[in-house]
Amino acid sequence: MEQASTATEAAPAARETDFGVGGMTCASCVGRVERALKKIPGVEQASVNLATESVRVRWQSGDDDVVAMSARLQRAVRDAGYEPRPLEAAEAEPARGWLGLPRDAWPVLLAALLSAPLALPMFGSLLGQHWMLPAWLQFALATPVQFWLGARFYRAAWHALKARSGNMELLVAIGTSAGWGLSSWLWWRAEAGEMPHLYYEGSALVITLVLLGKWLESRAKRQATEAIRALHALRPEVAHLLPDGIKREELVDIPVAELLPGDRVQVRPGERVPADGELLQGRTQVDESMLTGEPMPVPKQPGDRLTGGSLNGDGAVELQVAAVGAQSVLNHIIALVQDAQAAKPPIQRLVDQVAAVFVPAVLVIALLTFGGWYFWRGAALEDALLPAVAVLVIACPCALGLATPAAIMAGTGVAARHGILVQDAEALEQACKINTVAFDKTGTLTLGEPTLSALVTAPGVDEAGTLQAAAALQRQSAHPLARAVVVAAEAVPDAQALAAQEVQAVPGRGSHGQVRDAHLHLGSLRWMEELGAGLGELGARADALQNEGSTVSALALRLPDGRFTTLALFTFADLPKPGAQAAIAQLRARGLRLSMISGDNRGAAEAMARRLGLNPDAGEVLAEVLPGDKAARVAELRQGGHRVAMVGDGVNDAPALAAADVGIAMASARGGSDVAMHAAGITLMRGEPRLVAAALDISRRTVSKIRQNLFWAFAYNVAGIPLAALGYLDPVFAGAAMALSSVSVVSNALLLKRWQPEV
């Protein structure tokens, strides 16, 4: 057996593996596969997805061999009566057969052709005609449907019985066999020349309708997995490797799988970018819509990043490969979507509990139905058997098993198409309960690219020298304010750059180091206060700048006696993101409580908040919060009874994202997004604040579809079983209703594919 998946490290002592499982049809099958896998020593968790026909197993690795463990897992699935197979086989489209029809459609077509003559008398009776076929012909038509085309039901039912459990096939096999057997018995005991009333058409039509329902269901499930297949299709097969002048003297076409970091490749107009990297030569526009949801092409020039899978415009460019394989952005996106679709939300636990007892309960109800009609009502054998058969046929847990995964697949798929990656199903369910949204300020609501707007020096301090000394301290820092100082210093004509020694960063405060003979500290006014560095004559100016909404830092000199004197004030200005104000308005219109968390001084934070539409007087601004304290502020909001979504984009936001009910990481050009994404349950692939409302909206809609599907799945059985038991539902109509239940659940989930974000 080919190894069905790749096992990846999930933790130092644990692994996860995914593979396909063929032959599952209902929620009972899901439970049976999971129980079989959990019996294997070392297995911690097994999660089966009926819609994708796949399983994810988490197990303790120890010293065990990965190949051996994978073999044991697949053997357990096979012993449970199902077929382990590679994930690629589970996702593939069915092969085409004769006349170009899918091979999985032929059993349905043959069953319909054989059952149609049996159904003619039913329609003839409506017209007052008696088109009853001879008993031998009914037997000849019904038997192949029952035991050849319906053989799959007997095989699966036998495996279920061996495992001492039940499934949909067991119900169908018992119900239709009872109808076929009753008809054969009535025909056998009939007098010569007598035409008994037979029920071959009921059994044959039930099997035909169930086969039709499963075929329609499989088609709908393939539509639900379309998002994953579309992402896989973004990866080109071939890359044009450029000559390096040593080993290669001409352009060579190689498979993308052979690319290595550092390779230089050519990307021609209209081709997909083969790998993540840096644009070296040429200018173009790139369509990144399938990765980020951004509908407009993005201009690219030398030095810009290109993402593998994006579509090149009309310019031929050269690319230096930076990341390939599992390290690429596209593969990371695919992995996140697959993880979300493989996971089970908490609401699914109720379904699993019900499914575990559903089939045995239905068998008991069917026996009670037969006993009630035969012994209590005194009905004839055939009249008592038909209601029991109807109970068995209509009580199928297929819809129950598809209700949740179908909605999750459709919802996460359409969200990914618009640049919203849901990383786990629990985040999806929690997001619909959010009543408070907390934003980090810099880079999330603002552009995160502050500029040095003013430099105010103390009397007698050289402005140019002060700027160069500050730039020397900040040159190695990735903080936005530090970069603003460096950019301003480099823009001064003929300026002499200085070097700093022994530079140390103090998180949330600033940095200090030696520049020439001076030991300088550059950071927030709060830090200056902690150091005891008074602002002196600059104090009034600092207050005025803060009241105007500026972010103010100070440069202080440490004297030989340990005291500090302030040399200058640095004033920074940042701008709101274009969609930030609209995002705040959208969320407020939905009745959500809003909060902005910022490390800036209160004056600057409140001024920016007012520009964005937030109300500082209503407690919507938390200012002067150190990076390490953001998580504590989020925890305080939760302790106050709020369900909090935290939105951030940088490394220092990761603890707060993890502390929230739902963390929403926003992709950023500033760096640090990867850390934030790992701590968040939802990732926005564009730095667009309005996607926050869109993420909450698709989560709410997806959970709503799950609840609708579960309602209808239960409603079919709650209404259908009593009607069938009381004799109001013919087995044929019961079979049609059962097939319709599965198709309607998946079709309802597919309505999510029409969702569009308001961005």
Q: Which active-site residues does the annotation give?
A: 440
Helices (H), 263-397: 289-292, 329-342, 348-371, 381-394
Sign of the Cα torsion 441, 447, 449, 453 reads negative
Tokens read off for 113: 């052709």
Q: Are 436 and 637 in contact (CB under 8 A)?
A: yes
**DSSP designation for 377:** S
Contact 678, 654 (CB under 8 A): yes
Token representation of residue 76: 């357990």
Q: Is the CB of residue 273 less than 8 Å from the CB of residue 300?
A: no
Integer-rounded Cα radius of gyration of the chain: 34
Which three-class secondary structure state does DSSP give residue 269? coil
CA distances from 4 to 18, 41, 71, 74, 666 (A): 7, 20, 9, 8, 34
Tokens of 654: 């990761």
User: How are beta strands 662-666 and 644-648 bridged, if at all?
Assistant: parallel
Longest dimension (CA), the chain: 126
- CA–CA gap between residue 433 and residue 149 (Å, rounded): 47
**Inter-residue contact 360 to 397 (CB < 8 Å):** no
167: left (phi over 0), alpha (psi -120 to 50) or beta: beta
Q: DSSP label at 478? A: -
Count of C-beta atoms within a 10 Å radius of residue 189 = 9
In DSSP terms, 46 is beta-bridged to 57
CA–CA separation, 198 and 590 (whole Å): 61
Q: Which residues pair with 84 in a beta bridge?
A: 21
The two three-digit tokens of residue 159, written as one number: 């495996």
Q: Would you say 167 and 26 are in contact if contact means Cβ atoms under 8 Å apart?
A: yes
Calpha distance 405→416 (Å, rounded): 16
Q: Residue 200 CA to chain centroid, in angstroms?
A: 46
In a 10 Å sphere around its CB, with 0-12 CB exposed, 13-18 middle and 19+ buried, how is residue 251 labelled? exposed
Burial of 388 (0-12, 13-18, 19+ CB in 10 A): buried
* CA 183 to centroid of chain Cα atoms: 50
Angle at 514 between CA 509 and CA 517, to 5 degrees: 140
Instruction: Give the C-alpha distances (Å, rounded to integers) separating 481 from 473, 553, 632, 695.
Output: 12, 9, 24, 30
Name which of 147, 213, 209 is nearest 180 in CA terms: 147
Q: Which residues have C-beta within 8 Å of that of residue 180, sequence separation ≥ 6?
A: 142, 143, 146, 199, 200, 203
346 vs 628: CA distance, rounded Å: 31
CB contact set of 369 (below 8 Å; sequence gap of 6+)? 387, 388, 391, 724, 725
Any idea what DSSP says for residue 96? B
DSSP state of 272: B
Beta carbons within 8 Å of 188's beta carbon, 6+ residues apart? none
- To 5 degrees, how large is the angle CA 215–CA 31–CA 334? 65
Residues 724 and 720: their CA atoms lie apart, in Å, by 6
Task: With beta carbons less than 8 A apart as the criterion, state whether 406 and 224 touch.
Answer: yes
